[in-house]
Amino acid sequence: MNIDWNGIYGQESVKNILERLIKNSSIPHAFLFYGANGIGKEYTAIKFAQNLNNCLITPEESEKISKQIATFSEPYIKYITPLPRGKSETDTSGPFEKLSAEENELYHEELAKKIQNPYYKIRVPKATQIKISSIRDIKKYLSFNFSDVKYRVVILSDAHLMNEEAQNALLKNLEEPPEGIIFILCTPFPGLLRETVRSRCWSIPFQPLKESELVKLLVNKFEISKNEASQVAPFAGGSLSSALNLLDQDIERLIDKTIYILRYSFGRKYHSALMEINKLLEENAVENLRIVIQMIITWLKDVQKFRFRADKYFFEKHVETLEKFNTRFPDLKLNDIVSKLDRFASVLKNNINPNLIALNIIFELASLTIPKKEKNRALV
């Protein structure tokens, strides 16, 4: 039985689970692939669809069907993604029916990029929801009957962007799926899906990519130089999306901004620290704040590495700040603050105000440098 995961970076536990299901011919009718953006959930869904069918047919048939799946060709696979709402569109309109010619063209250009590079994230302006019409369109897809493919797969990208009505419509499909139809819901925010939807899916968590895997992915799939990829990987939190965002923003600028945030916070210049963070949150606030948190954590790890006179630091150009901090606070325990920062990053997905989290970060950093006597007085 030839199972091919070529092109999937990391996710060994996920591949092992799916491989066992294929070998045991025990395939659930619905999956929930969840984990951070940019770690391969959708590409794994595509490869899973190919592997399911490749194990049942001849090599010649396998090549044909794999190509159809890789190009998102119906009825072999149905790919659903958020779309903009067209002018005068109603819930009875088809998903693409009321879109302008420009929006239709842009979507198909984006889809072509994803076909070329399955790690590519489709981006269409104002595409903020998976429309009810897209979910209702599944019924038409299910009506097709193709004997040359045993398993057909419906992939929902950013499944959490279904509204209540769309989730209710999907639920009807999940409750009584036709034989040979498999649903794969991909999302970084499973908690935004209804429990009744989640309970009907086999949940599989995806893990952040290792730095080495992320570097290879950036080099091989996005033609980023190895030097640039190695520079951003430590700050990306194992996410391709974050790494690409960092590359767009200028990593050197972000490193400098992080140093300013740290200096102002340690000096208890709260307003100045918040102003620096706000400059980075003007666009894509949640993602950028997550990156800032990761950069601060990396700096704190550099502080610890400096204590042991390591040879290499991520903040190589700012070694003097590491030295000054360790000279002033040689015995400071940093594990607690790193754990708190990790928690701040994890709650960002819960729609908590980024500015509130930013203030908490500043106060936690400031508390590190408050003399013990002052802390005690504050508690009295």
pLDDT per position as a tens digit, 6-20: 889 989 999 999 999
Q: Would you give the DSSP letter of residue 349?
A: G
Give the residues across from 154 on adjacent strands. 78, 183
**Residue 79 clears pLDDT 90, i.e. is over it:** yes
> What torsion do the CA atoms of 164, 170, 172, 173 make, to the nearest 10 degrees?
180
What stretch of H or E contains 248? helix 240-249
Give the pLDDT of residue 350.
Answer: 60
Instruction: Name the pairing type of β-strands 152-156 and 77-80.
Output: parallel
Half-sphere exposure of 227 (CA within 13 A, CB side): 0
**For residue 56, how far is the Cα from the chain centroid?**
32
**Residue 380 clears pLDDT 60, i.e. is over it:** no
Give the pLDDT of residue 100.
Answer: 84
Q: How far apart are CA 77 and CA 89, in angstroms?
A: 26
In the sheet with 202-205, reading across from the earlier edge strand, the strands are 77-80, 152-156, 181-187, 30-34, 202-205
For the record, the structure tokens of 146 come out as 């193709």
The 10 Å Cβ neighbour count of residue 255 is 19
**Residue 366 clears pLDDT 80, i.e. is over it:** yes
Q: Read out DSSP for 61-79?
A: HHHHHHHHHHTT-TTTEEE
Q: How far apart are CA 38 and CA 36, in angstroms?
A: 6
249 CB burial (10 A radius; 0-12, 13-18, 19+)? middle
The mean pLDDT of 306-330, rounded to a whole number, is: 80
Q: How far apart are CA 261 and CA 120, in angstroms?
A: 32
What stretch of H or E contains 181? strand 181-187
Question: 235 with 258: CB under 8 angstroms?
Answer: no
Give the pLDDT of residue 349.
Answer: 61
pLDDT band at 89, cuts 50/70/90? confident
**Residue 373 clears pLDDT 60, i.e. is over it:** no
**Pick from 77, 86, 89, 119: nearest CA to 104:** 86
Give the pLDDT of residue 48.
Answer: 92
**Residue 377 clears pLDDT 50, i.e. is over it:** no
pLDDT band at 199, cuts 50/70/90? very high
The amino acid at 346: S
The mean pLDDT of 45-64, rounded to a whole number, is: 79
Q: Is the dihedral of CA 71, 9, 49, 140 positive or negative?
A: negative
The 10 Å Cβ neighbour count of residue 23 is 11
Q: Which of 79-83, 287-291, 318-322, 369-373 has the lowest mean pLDDT?
A: 369-373
Give the pLDDT confidence of 120-177 residue by residue, as tens digits. 888 888 888 888 888 888 888 877 776 667 888 999 999 999 888 889 989 888 888 7
pLDDT band at 372, cuts 50/70/90? low
Scan for tokens 């520079």, then name that residue.
231
Question: 179 with 193: CB under 8 angstroms?
Answer: no
Q: How far apart are CA 337 and CA 365, in angstroms?
A: 8
Percent of the chain with pLDDT over 90: 18
358 CB burial (10 A radius; 0-12, 13-18, 19+)? buried
Better-predicted residue by pLDDT, 277 or 369: 277
Scan for tokens 């049942």, then name that residue.
56
Scan for tokens 């190589």, then name that residue.
316
**Residue 54 clears pLDDT 80, i.e. is over it:** no
**Residue 203 clears pLDDT 70, i.e. is over it:** yes
For the record, the structure tokens of 47 come out as 């490869």
Q: Which of 57-61, 69-73, 182-186 has the lowest mean pLDDT?
A: 57-61
**How many DSSP H helices and E strands does the chain contain?**
17, 5
Scan for tokens 């897209």, then name that residue.
134
Give the pLDDT of residue 254.
Answer: 79
Q: How far apart are CA 183 and CA 32, in angstroms?
A: 8
Give the pLDDT of residue 213.
Answer: 92
Question: 294 with 235: CB under 8 angstroms?
Answer: yes
For the record, the structure tokens of 9 come out as 């970076």
Q: Would you give the DSSP letter of residue 83?
A: B
**Residue 351 clears pLDDT 70, i.e. is over it:** no
Give the pLDDT of residue 57.
Answer: 63
Percent of the chain with pLDDT over 70: 92
105 CB burial (10 A radius; 0-12, 13-18, 19+)? exposed
Q: How far apart are CA 200 and CA 16, in angstroms?
A: 21
Better-predicted residue by pLDDT, 286 or 365: 365
Give the pLDDT confidence of 244-301 residue by residue, as tens digits. 877 877 777 778 888 888 889 888 898 998 888 887 776 666 777 877 888 888 888 8
